Structure 1
Amino acid sequence: MSKAAHGHNPAAWTGVTISFIGFCISGVAMIMPNVLLFWAGMAVVVIAGVVGKAMSIAGMGKQPSKHFAPVAEERTPVAAG
């Protein structure tokens, strides 16, 4: 898995960091019973996904690997006979 460099890019690290903060907020809200703060933390987690995807689309995500062969074109079956 280390050869694939899965997650070693700014988009992935930013998304994980923001979602970790959101889960910490929700965890604190569960200890001190605060429903509004819990859902605010969950909103931060959703925002983390949006930010990570936006950064990936902007070119800060994993770049296509040059090591993989291109997908083969679909061939039409040849009729026998």
Structure 2
Amino acid sequence: MNEETLIDRLAVALAARVASALPVAIDLWDIATIALYLKREPGTVREQMACLPGFPKAIRLPTSKGRAQPLYNAKEVIAWAQSYRDKN
């Protein structure tokens, strides 16, 4: 097998394993994803940010066990963070 064929096979194998990203306009983020975006710890986001009055409201999808983990509209989270940009 030559080098080019090996590279092609690797590319196909990697593409099969990588999840396709949803557009930010429709994606739902959990606390861990928001924490990555904001460069904070998940506990900080959960306990000190998500409870703020202006933070986007959670979306809770129904489950058979009752209470679902909160999800947040990615676009709203980004807009919320951008609202804190310095004005000067």
Instruction: Give TM-score, length-normalised by structure 1.
Output: 0.26
- Report which of the two structures shows the higher radius of gyration computed on alpha carbons: 1
Name the structure with the higher helix share: 1
